[in-house]
């Protein structure tokens, strides 16, 4: 019984070291360097901006579709 608890504790300690976390933050920096630019008014948005926000910009600012203002951006 005691061995099982010890093994679980060891697993938890190993889980604290998380090399994937470091790689993820680096990817985030690279992502932030790029941006989405509106083809109509040249306003730039973070590449992480969600499609609904881009669509809202296109519609409310220009009465256009997202495809017209942000060609190449996937919905
Ligand atoms: Zn615009």
- Asked if the model's pLDDT at residue 29 lies above 70, the reply is no
pLDDT of residue 63: 98
Q: Where are the alpha helices (DSSP H) in 17-64?
A: 19-33, 51-62
User: Ligand 1: distance of its center to the CA of 55 in Å?
Assistant: 10
Q: Are strands 44-46 and 35-37 parallel, antiparallel or unpaired?
A: antiparallel
When pLDDT is cut at 50, 70 and 90, the band that residue 2 belongs to is low
User: Ligand 1: distance of its center to the CA of 65 in Å?
Assistant: 10
User: Ligand 1: distance of its center to the CA of 29 in Å?
Assistant: 25
Expressed in percent and rounded to 5, the helix, strand and coil fractions of the chain are 60, 10, 30
Number of H helices, E strands in the chain: 4, 2
Mean pLDDT of the chain: 80
User: Residue 31 is encoded by which pair of tokens?
Assistant: 């992502």
User: Ligand 1: distance of its center to the CA of 26 in Å?
Assistant: 29
């Amino acid at each position: 019984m005691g061995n099982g608890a010890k093994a679980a504790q060891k697993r938890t300690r190993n889980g604290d070291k998380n090399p994937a976390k470091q790689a993820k933050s680096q990817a985030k920096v690279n992502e932030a360097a790029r941006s989405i630019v509106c083809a109509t008014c040249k306003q730039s948005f973070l590449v992480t901006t969600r499609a609904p926000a881009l669509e809202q910009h296109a519609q409310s600012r220009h009465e256009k579709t997202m495809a017209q203002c942000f060609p190449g951006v996937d919905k």
